[in-house]
Amino acid sequence: MDKNGTWVAAWDSWDPDIPGDVGRSEIVFARSLDDGATWSFPRYLGTSAANSLRINLSPTLHADDDGNWIMAWKSYEPGITQGTAHGNFLYSRSTDGGYSWSTPLSLNDDLIYDSTVLSYRPVDLAGDNRGNLIATWEHHPIAGDRDILYIHSPDNGITWSSPRTLNTNADTDSGDDINPCVVNIGGQNWLAVWGSNEDNISGKPIGDDYDILVSRSSDGGMTWSPAQPLDNDAGNDSEDNMGARIASNQTGEIIVGWNVRGMRFGSENRGEVAFSLSSDKGATWSHPAPMNSSALSDIIVDGFDDIATDGAGRWIIVVSSEDFDQPGIGLDGDIVFYTLGEPGAGGRQDKRTAVPFWIWNGFR
């Protein structure tokens, strides 16, 4: 949502009922001018010509306070095999609140069997409302481990730097670094989180399970600090921690949420959602806690999806859940959300106990 109250939603679709359908997955968007109460009819972004074989998937959006929007997604030709890349990340810009979009351009031109095909979250976008944007993704070369790449734009996505590695140990590590997410935490300061199964981080042995790592930049994303594990107990756990997402309210409070696979919360080997809070711009972090208050006793599967804040003390975390005991949920999986804190409270409510609101039962 931009400061004018415009909402834009984007997704990939193959729907012959939408004008402009070309018979394969394309990027679709819709707008709302009344806080999501009503939406425009979906429109295709026009990412490919009718005779193209390219498939376009997994869009992500960012808007600044002036109504400038940017959308990025992965695009590839079907039948890609290792070593025969025909995929890249594309992006398009809007300067009129998402009503019209520029001709798609490439964010990166040198993909060799990259996360274009493999990554669940192929590209992440973040901005600082002063025209600076950072895009990050995981790079999966033909041989070797995965690392985190990023590019920077100083002019709302008009121009971009060449890709650089964000994880400073990229030349020497052998573990995989996956699913990056970046956020601006005020001024020239940025924070990046991702999952890694590298067994030694900055001289700290943390095992070969996946753990959440954190890196900071104090120069607008030009350079990044050596990664550190978010959890001080990372060397003693054996669970896989992945899919981290991060949000900041620009006053120093940051929350990271992620997926946990293992027995950290209870005795069942199933999925749970964990989160951690920092009140000092990422210098220190609270001990990871389960999002679901019944995590120690239930046998359900929860999956972390995303986190956002209104900047006034309220946070919202979206989770995929199979909690059959909640009223109105049924026997299928559903999308639910938790809220933390209250508007205007400065986020001082206990953030280790989330309050569930079981409202998003299916699509709305």
For the chain, which residues make up each domain, given as ranges?
185-364
**Residue 18 identity (one-letter amino acid):** I
Report pLDDT digits (tens) over 276-305: 999 888 999 998 887 766 555 555 666 777
Which tokens belong to 154? 């100083």
Report pLDDT digits (tens) over 124-164: 999 988 889 999 998 877 667 889 999 999 999 999 999 99
Q: Which CATH architecture has domain 185-364?
A: 6 Propeller (2.120)
Which tokens belong to 199? 């067994």
Q: What is the DSSP string of 76-117?
A: E-TT--TT---EEEEEEEESSTTSS-PPPEES-S--SS-HHH
SS3 74: strand
192 has pLDDT over 90: yes
Report pLDDT digits (tens) over 264-280: 665 555 677 888 999 88
Other C-beta atoms closer than 10 Å to the C-beta of 347 total 22
Which tokens belong to 16? 């012959």
Which tokens belong to 311? 């900047």
SS3 118: helix
Report pLDDT digits (tens) over 216-255: 999 999 999 999 999 988 888 878 888 899 999 867 789 9
121 has pLDDT over 80: no
**Residue 302 identity (one-letter amino acid):** D
pLDDT confidence band for 349 (50 / 70 / 90): very low
Residue closest to 181 by CA, chosen among 123, 103, 232, 262 = 123
Rounded to two decimals, the pTM is 0.84
351 has pLDDT over 50: no
Residue 110: what pLDDT? 52
**Mean predicted lDDT score pLDDT of the chain:** 78
133 neighbors 152 (Cβ within 8 angstroms)? yes
pLDDT confidence band for 107 (50 / 70 / 90): confident
Sheet of 26-32: strands edge to edge?
7-13, 26-32, 43-44
**What residues contact residue 191 under an 8 Å CB cut-off, 6+ apart?**
182, 183, 185, 214, 215, 216, 217, 246, 248, 254, 281, 282
pLDDT confidence band for 361 (50 / 70 / 90): very low
Report pLDDT digits (tens) over 35-92: 888 999 999 887 655 546 677 888 999 998 888 999 999 887 765 444 444 567 889 9
